[in-house]
Structure formats: C-alpha cells, structure tokens
Amino acid sequence: MHIMEGFLPVKHAVGWSLATLPFMLLGLNAIKKQTTNKPELKMLLGVSAAFTFVLSALKIPSVTGSCSHPTGTALGAVLFGPLTMVPIGAIVLLFQTLLLAHGGLTTLGANIFSMAIMGPLVASLIYHLGKLVKLHLGVTIFLAASLADLLTYVTTSFQLALAFPDASGGFLTSFIKFSTLFALTQIPLAISEGFLTVIIFNMLNRYNSRELAALKIFEKKECLRQ
C-alpha cells in the first residue's frame, strides 16, 4: 500500500482522513487503559510497534502510485486488540513518510485505514474465530497475519479503484486490475509474513510467557510448537 504523496484526489484524501479519526480516538483510549492497568506490557507494545515498522518499511515497487510490502500489524492486533494498532500504525506510517519517503502526508489517512485499521481488524477476527473453533494456535496466527496482509491490499485496491475508476468498466474493472497487479507480489509476501509472525510468537512464548499470560493469549499453557 503506502499510496504516495499527492496521488489521491483531494476529496478522497480528506474523506479517508476523516474516516480514521474515530478509530484513532478509540485506539488512544485503548492504549491508555492497557498501559495504566498493566504497565509491564509497555515493552511488549514497543516490540509490536517495532515489528510493524520494520516489516512495513521493506517495500517492493508495485502498482503505479503504490508499493507492496509486509505489514506486521497482526502481531499487535492479536496481542492487544485491533484498536491499539491504529495509533501505532499511524505513528509508523508518519515516520516512514517523513524519514523514508514511503507514502505521503496527504495520503496518510488512506494508508492508515488500509494498514492500521482493516488489517488489524481482520487479524483479530481470524484469531478469535480460530480460538472459537479450537484451531491450532500456530495455524491461527499464520492465517491471521497472512489474511491481514492480503486484506490491507484489497482495501488499497478499493481505495485506488474508487479514486480512479476505469474509463469503460468503471469501479469494478479498476478494482480487479489493481488487486490482480498487487497479488503478483503480495501473495508470497503474505505467506512469508504469516510464517515470520508464527516464529515471533514462538519467541515471545519462550521469553515473555508472563506477559502473554497477562494478555490471555495462551490457555492452559498452550504452545505454538504443540
């Protein structure tokens, strides 16, 4: 994703920015509650933010005006909930805009909506669904990370198609074109991100089991390696 500076029409840029505001306020409130009730989780929250920053900075040129890259938002979404990742994702995207020239200030709202809102929501939904059907935790984490990555790019395709509908086929044709082009690079990236997220969860389970227990990630000492 990372739609570049000035690429979206003004009304689209403003619209997506306004759409992120309620989620941003809810996310800030969620972080405040979590860190107030359990200050020991601040370090784990920082790990989640760093993971998102590093993975989402590894960009590959893709569709005109955008790029492909892992997102890294599923880790924090599963640990802390999807709302927590909205401010974290916004900070990551802002830093990348200012320091790495990834994305842009005018397109920040659209990029936040796709990577920091839709991605984490999907990751959290898949995680809770996996727990509900008692799916193996490692498989659940893999699916949560992979599908969150893919849905981020589906959202970006939607945003680009909405802004630039095809001259003959309209929105749907444009959406198919954008999503198909993204798929060439994003599907293998999503699979890789899924495996990497499982590895990180294994490491957290080994070295931060107390913090994970506080977040109720594992039940009855469940382990990803089981």
Predicted confidence pLDDT, tens digits, the chain (226 residues): 678 888 999 999 999 999 999 999 999 999 999 888 888 888 889 989 999 998 888 777 665 556 678 899 999 999 999 999 999 999 999 998 998 888 889 999 999 999 999 999 999 999 999 999 999 999 999 999 999 999 999 999 999 999 999 989 999 999 999 888 888 888 889 999 999 999 998 888 877 767 666 666 554 444 444 4
CATH architecture assignment, domain 10-214? Orthogonal Bundle (1.10)
72 touches 52 (CB < 8 A): yes
| φ, ψ (nearest 5 deg) of residue 29 | -65, -40
Long-range contacts of 174-180 (CB under 8 A, 24+ apart): 178/63, 179/153, 179/154
93 touches 114 (CB < 8 A): no
Name the 3-class secondary structure at 222: coil
Q: Report the distance separating Cα 179 and Cα 101, nearest Å.
A: 23
Q: What is the pTM of this model?
A: 0.88
Contacts of 110 by beta carbon, 8 Å cutoff, 6+ apart: 3, 8, 12, 13, 16, 17, 156, 159
24 touches 117 (CB < 8 A): no
CA atoms within 13 A on the CB side of 185: 16
Q: What angle do CA 210, 212, 218 make, to 5 degrees?
A: 115
